[in-house]
Amino acid sequence: MALTVLSRPDSYSAAYLPVEYKFTSDLSPNSISGESDSNGTLFGSDNSGEDILVGTQPLPLVVGDYVYLENAGVYNGVHRVSSINNGTEGVSVTGFFIDTPVTTETTLPGILKQAVEVSKYYNNYNAVVDVYISGSFVVRLRTRRNFDNEFIFDLSSIIQEYLGSDLLALGTSTTSTSVDLSKEVYIQYAEEYDVISNGIATLTLTSFTDDSSNPFTAVNSTIPYVFMNDFAISSVNYNLSDFYSTNALFNGASAYNWLTLQPEEVRISSNDSYQMSFINATETYNGGPNPIAVNLDYVLRTYDNQGSLIATNIVVIDTDTTTNLEGVYNVPVGPSNLSAYITSDVVKYTVQTRIDEFILADLRTFIIEDDCSPTRVERRFEWVNSLGGIDAFTFKGKEVRDIDVEKRTFKRILNSVRSIPERSVTTFGVETKDVYTVNSGIVSKKERDWLLSLVESPEVYLVVDGYRLPVQVNTTFGVEKLAEYSYNVTMEYELAYEKIIQRN
């Protein structure tokens, strides 16, 4: 007997979609070739009430085994072998009794049913999978055959517990490979079923097949099945492969996408930090006895206020001479991160990743906008987007602060001799919560659509004085249309921790 892998997850899989392994078995449905016979015969005496005798071609049966009968009328189904009548037990049994008595209403003298189908049946049969994440065992799963005669394991809910965000230090210029944004996963698989010994069934797990040579990478992403925007469907059946290239070096594939749904142009301040992530699934050609250097980098082009190119810089992300550079990368691309290249003359710059000069991720443009007005209120947010990357935006419109206060009090009994400080109504608990409402200022339609993902993010931060403060975005989230393709986005948020208060 053996399990066969029908399909594995994609080499890069979104962890918030089904992440499935499919298996089939040479048991069909619970028997294997050589352990079934279509010419069996049932025997029994009318009104005997005795166990039914089954005659068959040689089958490897022992007492306690199970058989499956088909075309046997009321005797269809699974039955237990109660004794051996003829043949060598465990090798070539041609006659055996099942612990099912004759049903008198359906019997004929001497013969109950001819030409039945008999199969050795593996009771309690399961496919078993051991799941390994980042090289460590995490869980063992079991499943039974479904209606399509397949064994399906969906690992998505397990993998999700091991994924998170990869926040680069604000202002850093160092690229990092993914730690929490993605995890490498592989499995080992085996069969499990009852093994009969001395008439006793023991659930037995067979040896595992190691599938570590076929790992995949799970990414902290979810891709919509249908993306609807302003009641128009823009795409159906999204796939994470839209965001990476496999073997682009050889097939001439066009550039793929960064792990973000932000607009192609992003407005940013000269002191802002920013990061983006991308998947490099490209098979490099640096192996063999004479490996060559493989360079993973991005092209940084800077422009002045006339739109003229100032400089083209190649910023190295990673390099290696022995292994490929496949993986998920987090890249610092804000003016604060690129201070070595972003001078005061730069008003616009673009970034595009490459591997050995072959383009991987699409071009992204950053427009530097600084407002020196002392009355301007700016609140910059970072959030984990639906693809697992980090997005950021600065709200520059009106800000409102509300303070919600809840006090818990009780009344004391005053002493007969009054003292001025003594009080009857006494506070023993105060809960306060600062609730802020911020406005984006005027944004484009693309920016509006992008910002709507902010309210769905599980992880949002307010960037203040070089620190990230965790915040909770509330359900109050409004969009106001000012003119054609011109909008205001309003968002309500609060700090994601409680204040500590004094007690009386």
Please give the full DSSP string across 7-52, using - where no structure is assigned: E---SEEETTS--EEEEEESSSSS--TTSEEEEEEEE--TT--PEE
For residue 375, tell me if it sits in a domain: no
- Of 340, 362, 342, 365, nearest in space to 352 by CA: 362
For residue 502, tell me if it sits in a domain: no
pLDDT at 292 (0 to 100): 59
**Number of domains composing the chain:** 4
Assess whether 272 and 353 both reside in one domain. yes
Assess whether 359 and 278 both reside in one domain. yes
For residue 82, tell me if it sits in a domain: yes
Assess whether 151 and 180 both reside in one domain. yes
CATH code where residue 136 lies: 2.60.40
Assess whether 201 and 252 both reside in one domain. no
Assess whether 136 and 54 both reside in one domain. no
- Of 228, 222, 227, nearest in space to 240 by CA: 222
Inter-residue contact 350 to 366 (CB < 8 Å): yes
Assess whether 250 and 135 both reside in one domain. no
pLDDT at 305 (0 to 100): 92
pLDDT at 469 (0 to 100): 93
The residues that bridge with 175 in the sheet, in sequence order, are none
pLDDT at 313 (0 to 100): 96
Residue 410 has a CB neighbour count (10 Å cut-off) of: 10
Both tokens of residue 299? Answer: 């092209």
Give dist(CA 431, CA 363) in Å, integer: 48
Q: What is the pTM of this model?
A: 0.83
Tens of pLDDT along the chain (504 residues)?
A: 689 999 999 999 999 989 999 999 988 677 887 888 888 888 876 656 778 889 999 999 999 999 999 888 888 899 999 999 999 999 999 999 998 887 755 545 555 566 788 999 988 999 999 999 999 999 999 999 998 889 999 999 999 999 999 999 999 999 999 999 999 999 999 999 999 988 888 999 999 999 999 999 999 998 776 666 666 666 555 678 878 866 544 444 566 789 998 998 999 999 999 999 999 887 665 555 555 567 889 999 999 999 999 999 999 988 776 667 888 999 999 999 999 999 999 999 999 998 878 888 889 999 998 876 665 678 999 999 999 999 999 998 888 888 777 787 878 777 666 666 777 787 777 777 888 999 988 998 889 888 888 888 999 999 998 899 999 998 777 888 888 788 899 999 988 877 767 666
Assess whether 287 and 354 both reside in one domain. yes
For residue 292, tell me if it sits in a domain: yes
pLDDT at 250 (0 to 100): 43
Assess whether 250 and 273 both reside in one domain. yes
Give dist(CA 352, CA 255) in Å, integer: 9
Residue 485 has a CB neighbour count (10 Å cut-off) of: 11
pLDDT at 433 (0 to 100): 80
CATH code where residue 85 lies: 2.40.30
Assess whether 286 and 303 both reside in one domain. yes
Assess whether 94 and 205 both reside in one domain. no
Assess whether 116 and 148 both reside in one domain. no
Residue 475 belongs to what domain range? 397-495
Distances (CA, A) of 307 to 21, 291, 311, 365: 51, 41, 12, 12
pLDDT at 322 (0 to 100): 65
For residue 199, tell me if it sits in a domain: yes
Assess whether 275 and 296 both reside in one domain. yes
* SS3 label, residue 144: coil
pLDDT at 402 (0 to 100): 82
Give dist(CA 384, CA 468) in Å, integer: 13
For residue 500, tell me if it sits in a domain: no
